[in-house]
Chain A
Amino acid sequence: MNLQPYEAMAKLELTEDERRELSGKLETLLKAFEPAQNIDTSGTEPLVTVLTEQNILREDISMKMLSREELLSGAPEQYDGYFQVPKTLD
């Protein structure tokens, strides 16, 4: 199994050993899931959450929770009130 596209999506880089191990695990998972493909689910709606409540909404009231100093206090790098990252391409 070529896992690189999925590592790239997850922004991870596995070692060859890890890839072998995960491939094995994924093959086991896919095999265990195989019987599912024989179950007709064409009329079944996906179940996203088991909670059946609806319209859990909040009133439009604004509040300040953190000062900028608190917000940035754990930032690995910051500059002039901003979080700082290497130059992006565009």
Chain B
Amino acid sequence: MVYLDDSIMIKGKPASAGSKMLENFIAPFDATAAVRIKENAETVRLGEFGLKAPKMLPDGPLLCNDVFGHVRAAATKQGLYYIRPTYGTVSRYGLIPAVCSMDQIGVVCKDPYEGFELLSKIAGHDEKDGAMFPEKHYSYVKSDKSPVLFKEALPYSELYGSVFEILACAELSGNLSRYDGIKFGYRAENFKGLDELYIKTRTGGFGNEVKFALTAGCLALSQDYYTALYEKAMKLRRLIKESLRFDQYDVLVLPVESPLAVLAGLPSLSFGEVQLAAQVKNEGALLAALEVIA
């Protein structure tokens, strides 16, 4: 039995991404990840578009897209592991998008080996996703080399949070523009004219965290702030990624709340108070590092 965040679609079942906006939306097709697990699956509602902390996580393995870090924080608090594989290795076909350059299905699990086993079923190229690595299969094997760990402050680390927030909110504002009360999902009841339909529907359908993120995202993308905020953040994202020196270490030991792995597309494994991040496509180092630390 596997649990799916209900932003991963199962045909004919509600897919809400935890939002009132989608409360009566029925998935019109199956997500690739849902098809590939080949096991009984049950959907659970988590925080709205990943922006809100979930109340309680199920105790079985849970597939979810955790961009904003609330799931991994809740998981480690509950004594569970959270594994996020390399960006571009698990198909997003059938995943309700939040932040395209960071969306990546990962797994919450009691045992990291069980989590990696589940990931090995769902990871691999899918022609229905236009942004993936070409490898067909991934097997997650523990690296036999004892890993070199790096725990000190990295360059630009004081900017990770703001760069992440600017980019994530902006992309989110694009992806959530589709929710307008016209094609599916929630529509406000009393409105005069088209503009009021939009505003009342979106104001009533989204929770506060989402409304704040969308407003901030529009600000970052507006002519007033594009160069100073959005473009600057994209440039810093490059500097941040290029500042990582995986020729000198195998695994970064980061606080659970660090957005670095999400920003740089690195595989990561969180438990307790730490988040381990490895070089792209070197998930094996994570298991080896985990054993060292534990």
Contact = CB atoms under 8 A, between A and B. Distances in A.
Contacts of B161: 32
Main secondary structure of the interface of B (DSSP, over half): helix
B232 A41 contact: yes
Interface stretch (B57-65, B105-113, B176-184): B176-184
A6 interface: yes
Contact of B215 (A6, A36, A39, A76): A6
A46 interface: yes
A50 to B, nearest CB: 3
Contacts of B132: 51, 53, 56
Interface in A9-37: 9-14, 18, 21-22, 25-26, 29, 32-33, 35-37
A13 B233 contact: no
A41 B165 contact: no
Given A10-B218, A12-B203, A86-B194, A39 B236 contact: yes
Nearest to B208: A18
B184 A74 contact: yes
A65 B197 contact: no
B199 A44 contact: no
Interface in A65-87: 65-66, 70, 73-77, 83, 85-87
A85 B133 CA distance: 41
Nearest to A53: B133
A86 B131 contact: no
A51 B219 contact: no
A12 B215 contact: yes
Contacts of B186: 76
Interface string B1-30: 000000000000000000000001110110
A83 B241 contact: no
A9 B197 CA distance: 14
B39 to A, nearest CB: 25
A35 B218 contact: no
B131 A36 contact: no
Contacts of B158: 32, 35
Contacts of A10: 173, 202, 211, 214-215, 217-218
B154 interface: no
A49 interface: yes
Given A29-B216, A65-B29, A47 B202 contact: no
Interface of A: 3, 5-7, 9-14, 18, 21-22, 25-26, 29, 32-33, 35-37, 39, 41, 44-51, 53, 56, 58, 65-66, 70, 73-77, 83, 85-88
Interface of B: 24-26, 28-29, 87-88, 100-101, 127, 130-134, 156, 158-159, 161-163, 165-166, 173, 180-187, 191-195, 197-199, 202-203, 206, 208, 211-212, 214-219, 222, 228-229, 231-239, 241, 263-265, 280
- 7 A-B pairs closest in CB distance: A46-B234, A50-B265, A47-B238, A74-B184, A76-B187, A33-B162, A41-B235
